Amino acid sequence: MIPKYIDSDKVRKILTWPLVNAAVEEALKAIDYSELNAANSEQSYKRQPPRTITACGNASQLLLTMPGYVGNYKALNAKTNDQLPCSSTLACKVVTSFTNNQNLQPPLPNILANILLFDVNTGELQCIMEGTQITAWRTAAASIVATKYLYMKRFPQGFQTPIKLAIIGCGVQGQSHALGMCATFNVSEIYLWNRRQSKADSLLLLLQHLHLNKVLQNPTKIFVTDTPAEAVREAEVICIGTYSPHALINYDMLKSGDVHINTVGAGAVHFGEVSQDIYDNAVVYVDSLINARTELKDLKANIIGEIGQVIREGRSAENKSLTIYQSLGNFGIF
């Protein structure tokens, strides 16, 4: 059998925020296979070994393999948004992270991905999907789901609660987080910061264009800031996705009261964009504990558990005003 290839144009036409948010929430919600029993046999479950990371020369050129199996998975139909019958998916995402790609002429994305889908009965390779955009959307959707359960559920208005949003780093991740958050939540103000300001300016123009063309309802107020501190000063939800080897924000910069941070970047070492004093004052949730045990072993933080458990329980039991979703990237079928 020749596997089907789904190229980036076809992938792009399928992706919508409601679809990706629902798919990612369902994948995050899956329990580990070892916890499956007669009482929860209807529940979606996952088998997910730790990912492998192979350096090709040095730590700025990595190959990551992320295999995963999800059983009893309830996906939505991409055209109708109707619930599809329960299914199972066996997949492996193969990602490269080559951090010099952005300096090539013409530039290439630093993160490139392909997703291999297998027949769960025969093991045959059925399909290869171009996964670069899926990675950008998936990562933002996971932050959106984390924000929904760790932050939005604190308020009686839930999803409708107006939020001031900060985007620290306006590369591929910053852009997908800004678009996804604005498409999903009631973002009243957005503050953009990027090391090279031109990228923040471009994202501002894109958001204004989408707002004018009624693709996005909000935000109505968009600001580009000179420093990360200015960007987060008023922010209730902060998304940070960079390769910065040092912390870009610290505790004194945050507003007092309820704040939620999604930290997705920092390259091979998956923390450090946020200062130690922020971790000291926060509770932390991850996407994958199995990967956190190795990839976050040096992080000194109060890691409560997986966001999937919070989804299954409805909301976080922690009564803490500062929460962090520490995104590693490997979970479920993405």
Ligand X SMILES: NC(=O)C1=CN([C@@H]2O[C@H](COP(=O)(O)OP(=O)(O)OC[C@H]3O[C@@H](n4cnc5c(N)ncnc54)[C@H](OP(=O)(O)O)[C@@H]3O)[C@@H](O)[C@H]2O)C=CC1
Does the N-terminal peptide bond of residue 50 adopt cis geometry, omega within 30 degrees of 0?
no
264 forms part of the interface with ligand X (CB under 6 A): yes
The two structure tokens encoding residue 266: 């920092």
Name residue, tokens 């989804």. Answer: 311
Residue nearest to ligand LZCNNONV (CB): 329
Among 48, 72, 97, 143, binds ligand LZCNNONV (CB under 6 A): 97
Pick from 236, 133, 142: nearest CA to 184: 142
- Is 330 among the residues that bind ligand LZCNNONV (CB under 6 A)? yes
Nearer to ligand X among residue 169 and residue 219 (C-beta): 169
User: How many positions of this chain bind ligand LZCNNONV (CB under 6 A)?
Assistant: 8
Q: Are 148 and 159 in contact (CB under 8 A)?
A: yes
Of the candidate residues 173, 218, 288, 316, the single one contacting ligand X (CB under 6 A)? 173
Distance CA(149)–CA(158), nearest Å, equals 9
Q: What are the distances in angstroms from CA 52 to CA 66, 82, 123, 141, 327?
A: 7, 35, 21, 23, 16
Site string for ligand X, 274-313 (x = CB under 6 A): ----------------------------------------
Please check whether residue 66 is in contact with residue 95, taking contact to mean a CB–CB distance below 8 angstroms. yes
Which of 135, 143, 176, 184 lies at the binding interface for ligand LZCNNONV (CB under 6 A)? 135
**Which of residues 14, 267, 276, 309 is near ligand X by CB under 6 A?**
267
Binding site for ligand X (CB under 6 A): 97, 102, 110-111, 135, 139, 169-174, 194-196, 199, 241-244, 264-267, 327-329
